[in-house]
Chains A and B, each alone.
Chain A
Amino acid sequence: MTIGSVPLKFRVTIDPERCMLCGRCVDNCSYGVYRNEGDRIRINSRNCVACHRCLAFCPRDAIDIEEKPTDYRSHPVWTRETREAIFNQARTGKIILAGMGNAQPYPIIFDRLVLDACQVTNPSIDPLREPMELRTYIGKKPSHISLKSSAKGEIEFLTKLSPNLQIETPIMVGHMSYGAISLNAQLALAKAVSRIGTFMGTGEGGLHEALYPYQQHMIVQVASGRFGVDINYLERGAAIEIKIGQGAKPGIGGHLPGEKVCADVSCTRMIPEGSDAISPAPHHDIYSIEDLKQLVRSLKEATEWKKPVFVKIAAVHNSAAIAAGIARSSADAVVIDGFRGGTGAAPRVFRDHVGIPVEAAVASVDAKLRQQGIRNEVSIIASGGIRESADVAKILCLGADAVYIGTASLVAMGCRVCGTCYRGVCAWGIATQKPELVARLNPDEASVQVENLIHGWTLELAELMGAAGINSIESLRGNRDRLRGYMLDEGLMQVLDVKSVGA
């Protein structure tokens, strides 16, 4: 009892005037905050993670959740978080685990960039009346095309196109594995992307049979643990993604706790039930760029060069040079995952302190590839902290071809970003494998919500393009002239290659 109790993170109160003792909060809370005791509901606020499941299901709005009800003595250096992390490690001697994305209050570059619109000298285009093209192709593009006129005057076309993924909006759903999220969550995403005409990633968790009907819209992932990878898996995917790193935890591997490896997850991942699934930090067959090239080409060879192969890296200082290496490896797209990217579980120290924001990484990758004349060799997919359609527009202006969304798609299914995914008892049925919790998520209903979200963003993107006098997404891509930095410092504006507002 040296340290004792620390102040509550949240205080839960029930207004007795409003409460009708229906018990829905007791049934819904998977963290053990509520229990029935005769004619009253007892509350243990210490268990609360603010997932808001109880609040969402309380028919009388009787529940109130207050964050940080007790103050520490305020101190700018020794913040509450710093002190609590020390208490935690003093007790356990372990690495602190955390969920979701970077929780440090770094400035968000997206919020310091503004978009342009047309006035007078050129007309804005109304997407309701004029065609507006958001169709995007992900994959290798020819640098030029070769044509030959035949004797009959017909034009013969000599360039061979590499396989590309065709998406009707530049928004895809990123890799969240079966294991990290529930099968119902994956099903909901799969149904949504199929209807929209876009793609989602499987994550490093294999491809469950229930997803086979949607395989034309799935990008299968090969990560350092090789979980779930066999030829059947590779052939089912529309594209293959090699995961080198993840924005939330650059430089380290993954860890799915054994408690989450139920029978079904064990089959899909091809690992024993109940065993921890540990992905090593590096791929043990990739110790240099030429090894990556061999893996890219092996995967292509195995699938007869019919599928694009992506390589995903965490956004780090040297992303631009790494991406230039990837562009030369036969890969078709490079995924840049920024340091605000989400995760089921990551060491807190990595989540909050390692990596760089996706905006800066994409800008430097695009610039480097252009400089070397190899921009057409790979598409750039940006992920990690894409929160709304404006973020999509801005990252496209900085040079990305498309984005992956992760957290946003989970929020569309009910997730409240409580950051407790690693506990495996997600009350929303998303980041859990407990059958009774998974059953809470109806894949059909959830898929409509995800579809609505992507549809809404797509409409907004079309409006933003029209306002900028642009009717095709190609003309937004890399168009940094249509961005301005607002209160960004000189150095960062140089990296982003944008001017200041007013300039």
Chain B
Amino acid sequence: MCGIIGVIDRRRQCMDGSRIKEALSMMDERGSGEGAGYVAYGIYPEYKDYFALHVFFDNIRENKIAIDNLLEKWGTIVHDEQIKTYEQPNIRKVHTPWRYFFRPDRSLMPKSTTPDEDIVTNLVMRVNAGKNGALVFSSGKNLGVFKAAGWPEDVADFYRIQDYKGYLWLGHNRYPTNTPGWWGGAHPFNLLNWSVVHNGEITSYGTNRRYIESYGYQCTMFTDTEVVAYLFDLLVRKHGLSEEMAVRALAPPFWEEIDVMPEKEQELNKAIRLAYGSAMMNGPFAICVANENSLVGFTDRIKLRPLVTGELGDRLYLSSEEAAIRRMEPDVGSITMPKAGEPVIGRLYA
């Protein structure tokens, strides 16, 4: 089941995490108290030029030194510290969350057009594929994921997310079936500046995974959601598609719709389906994807999972339930339900 929520302030006005915590708790019916998480953009202004790596360590003394060495090999650790947490009766602290601010040494990736991102991506894939008691669960700039196994309000209090101020937030209330209680399995999933929350199950996962792995990504999280982050990274960052076109590739129009489009549009949509057939996602899903500039919400092609949008002023809200949006913003104006497969996009004002 799962409940998702997202908000963006198009003028980059920051919100603290208290409201989204309350909103997400409204959807406890959709969760089971075994996983919740948040991501906030704009929270590390003083380190905004560095990659903020959030890492779960199983054991600081045993596992941390290897990660320190790996990062130093590929760049500079500008600053690192333990992420502050506050004991909660309902959360068993099985990991120690740590944050690094990291500057990759781009001279080590001379042939790439995006050397920094490629280095960080490779490091994330390598750490997460290895069995070394460490998991990188957040790797973007000026943003951070906070997640754990527990109810959304407990996870929020565990990290005190009200102490963080961001212009874009995502939240997720999990009803796990595959990996209950595993912190790594909680959403949001993140790679570089891409963060994803997802309600549903991707029945095309096998196809998507094989597709994305042929581009060097490694699926290590035992869950279908991570491919969404990698697919966005591939389609938008590497192939240069807009977010609209990326969503078009992942949840394309039906052939019977394409067949009656004007010729040019038909050609474009056909090309997208031919090129990205293996990237197309099937099964029931509602997904919110964020990067530093935008928040995108979309559902599967026959909308088997709910997604509601709300607007007020500069803010766009996306959620599984209207009640959650109203909890976050009681004065919210227009509430709409996007059509199946059609993206809802909120972008920062230029």
**Hey, which bits of chain A sit against chain B, CB under 8 A?**
118, 121-123, 125, 130-131, 133, 135, 137, 141-147, 155, 157, 159, 161, 164, 370-371, 373, 375-376, 397, 468-472, 474-482
Contacts and interface: CB of A to CB of B under 8 A. Distances in A.
B232 interface: no
A475 B203 contact: yes
B201 A121 contact: yes
B277 interface: yes
Contacts of B211: 370, 478
Contact of B204 (A157, A370, A479): A479
Nearest to B1: A121
Given A130-B302, A155-B268, A470-B203, A370 B275 contact: no
B275 A159 contact: yes
B175 to A, nearest CB: 9
A192 B168 CA distance: 57
Contacts of B213: 370
Interface string B141-164: 000000000000000000000000
16 contacts: A130-B302, A141-B277, A145-B268, A145-B275, A146-B240, A147-B268, A157-B267, A159-B271, A375-B214, A469-B283, A471-B282, A472-B280, A474-B273, A475-B207, A475-B283, A478-B278
A477 B278 contact: yes
Interface string B198-225: 0011011111011101110000000000
A375 B206 CA distance: 15
Contacts of B260: none
Nearest to A131: B254
B256 interface: yes
B267 to A, nearest CB: 6
Contacts of B280: 472, 474-475
Nearest to A159: B271
Contacts, number: 114
Contacts of A373: 214-215
Given A157-B268, A469-B201, A482 B273 contact: no
Given A131-B254, A142-B275, A478-B278, A470 B205 contact: no
B177 A121 contact: yes
B33 to A, nearest CB: 18
B231 to A, nearest CB: 12
A135 B255 contact: yes
A147 B245 contact: yes
Given A130-B302, A477-B278, A481-B206, 20 more contacts: A122-B200, A131-B256, A133-B254, A142-B275, A145-B272, A146-B240, A147-B242, A159-B271, A159-B275, A161-B271, A370-B214, A376-B275, A469-B284, A470-B204, A470-B283, A474-B280, A475-B204, A475-B280, A477-B207, A481-B209
Nearest to A118: B203
B61 interface: no
Given A123-B304, A147-B245, A475 B256 contact: no
Interface string B32-70: 000000000000000000000000000000000000000
What 5 A-B pairs are tightest by C-beta distance, nearest first? A481-B206, A475-B204, A474-B277, A475-B282, A479-B206
B275 A144 contact: yes
B278 A469 contact: no
B207 A141 contact: no
A123 B284 CA distance: 7
B131 interface: no
A364 to B, nearest CB: 13
A135 B259 CA distance: 12
Given A155-B268, A470-B204, A125 B277 contact: no
A397 B205 CA distance: 12
B173 to A, nearest CB: 16
A477 B277 contact: yes
Interface string B274-301: 1111101111100000000000000001
Contacts of A475: 203-204, 207, 280-283
Contacts of A118: 203
A383 to B, nearest CB: 21
Contact of B207 (A145, A161, A471, A478): A478
B241 interface: yes
B126 interface: no
Contacts of B111: none
A373 B254 CA distance: 27
Contacts of B283: 122, 469-470, 475
Contact of A147 (B205, B241, B302, B304): B241
Contacts of B205: 479, 481
A121 B277 CA distance: 24
B269 to A, nearest CB: 10
